[in-house]
Amino acid sequence: MLSASDARPKAGQLQSFLMSETPFFKVSGVPLIRHDAYRWEIPITYQQGMRVPGRIFASESLLAALSRDKALEQVAHVAHLPGIVMYSAAMPDIHWGYGFPIGGVAATDPQNGGVISPGGIGFDINCGVRLLITPLSERDVRPKLAELIQALYQRIPCGVGQSGSIRLSPEEIRRMVMIGPRWAVERGLGFEEDLEFTEGRGFMEGAEEASVSLRAYERGRDQLGTLGAGNHFLEVQTVDRIFDKETAGTFGLVRDALTLMIHSGSRGFGYQICDDFLELFSGTLAKYGIRLPDQQLACAPVLSPEGRLYLSAMSCAAHFAWCNRQCLTALARQSFESVFGAECPAAKVRVVYDVSHNIAKFENHKAEGELRKLCVHRKGATRAFPPGHPELPLPYREVGQPVLVPGDMGRCSYVLAGTQRAMDETFDSSCHGAGRCMSRSQSLRDARGRNIGEELRKLGIFVRGKGNKTLAEEQPSAYKNISDVVDVLHEAGLAKKTARLKPMGAIKG
């Protein structure tokens, strides 16, 4: 719970944007200064060695839930990174993670000793979300929903370590990780338009296939077109509410339209790259004289040989993840066509957008009054570019980037639009989902004696997963209420609510 503290921050310790008479709170022993209903600060004086304050975007009720983990402590730890600018930020879905909290955002300045930290990107590099829109409606699909979910489940392998039908030779996988989803499009697994509506067109500069270990290639060679496990999913949804008709229309979203959301990443390929570089970076701290409160934040200067090598390998993993979602898109299109025939041909299942949420990118942002090229870490956070941003697809440039925020499989998901305020306050970032509020072991205990699949079926939601354990771990109550999280984004002005998507069915790993 939040409790008012008798202690008051000393004069001059707070950033100028804070109000001098704001209440001073503590959550799990971490001091917080309330700026307004959705903005909170961890003062730079909280820990010796913090280079910037922490900034958390959350409601009071979401903050209170953080008393059960150490996520706020991790926000403070991230503020120790060399070269970090402005603040260590956290989105409203924040929860404990490896190194960075999930929902953590930090930008470092390479020209001023800024570092790159694999813990600020995550093990599943470029895990992300893709939204597709179909020509079907809920009324079209409801009679064949079970058949559709079964078709998707049969075509798309899901679960830990599952192999797919797309097998790559050593030469092919090396080419694929250099060019990303274009590899799939060149092989008939998609359309040129799919690339246009993928973040950065699914490409990052600097990828070098030689920077990746043989073990990573071995783990990834048969995992294209596979969903993975944990919170990864493919969900059939319908647009059940429109908040902004003009923006939703620009994205192609109308009431009762049937959508498909895909959540997956770089699978064992990206995991192995993260593992490899965490081992390498464990020796770089002493080499570069970096002192940190948590070894999980192991890092190297962006411009160092080690930093450049990691960025190159990370770009390869990002390409793998985008290509994986492209292959999953092709398999999903085949499934829809097999069930609905001429009513839903593959060419009519269009990509609305594809966003990344475990990645670092070089972007231009204003910091301390000047425009700088920064290395922006997003760990469980996604871009939220405003209207007019030159990297947006031309059709979206007047309304802003589609921000895809999935919820749990029992409630809803949201599409929002990026804003200028996100550009000004969060390095153009938004949250990536609801955020867990139960550990997996706690979820299993909570679900003991229950049939989660049957509970969802009674709500009209048909789910297939790798056994009861997966569904128990991923039960809706294991997650924060996505509407509470999205309301913070909307009310704080970081993203604008555009449409709500209601789940009809899903496959889970």
CB 59 within 8 A of CB 26: no
Residue spans of beta strands (DSSP E) within 186-279: 233-242, 257-264
Q: In the 8-state DSSP scheme, what is residue 439?
A: -
Nearest to 207 by CA among 309, 117, 281, 108: 309
Hey, CA dihedral for 313, 314, 318, 320, is it positive or negative? positive
Catalytic residue among 357, 365, 432, 490: 432
Please state, as a whole number, how many other Cβ atoms lie within 10 Å of the Cβ of residue 287.
12
Angle between helices 170-179 and 305-340 (to 10 degrees): 100
Q: Give pairs for 488-492: CB < 8 Å, separation 24+.
A: 488/38, 488/57, 488/58, 488/59, 488/62, 488/92, 489/57, 489/91, 489/92, 489/403, 489/405, 489/416, 489/430, 489/431, 490/416, 491/37, 491/38, 492/38, 492/39, 492/57, 492/421
Q: Residue 31: what residue type?
A: P
CB 415 within 8 A of CB 364: no
Cα 433 from Cα 230, distance rounded (Å) = 14
Name the residue with tokens 């670092």: 360
Output the six-digit token pair for 177. 């990780």
Respond yes or no: is residue 432 known to be catalytic: yes
Q: H helices within 252-375, ranges in order?
A: 267-281, 284-287, 305-340
Helix then strand count (H, E) for the chain reads 17, 21
Cα 442 from Cα 291, distance rounded (Å) = 35
Cα 42 from Cα 54, distance rounded (Å) = 5
Catalytically active residues are 432
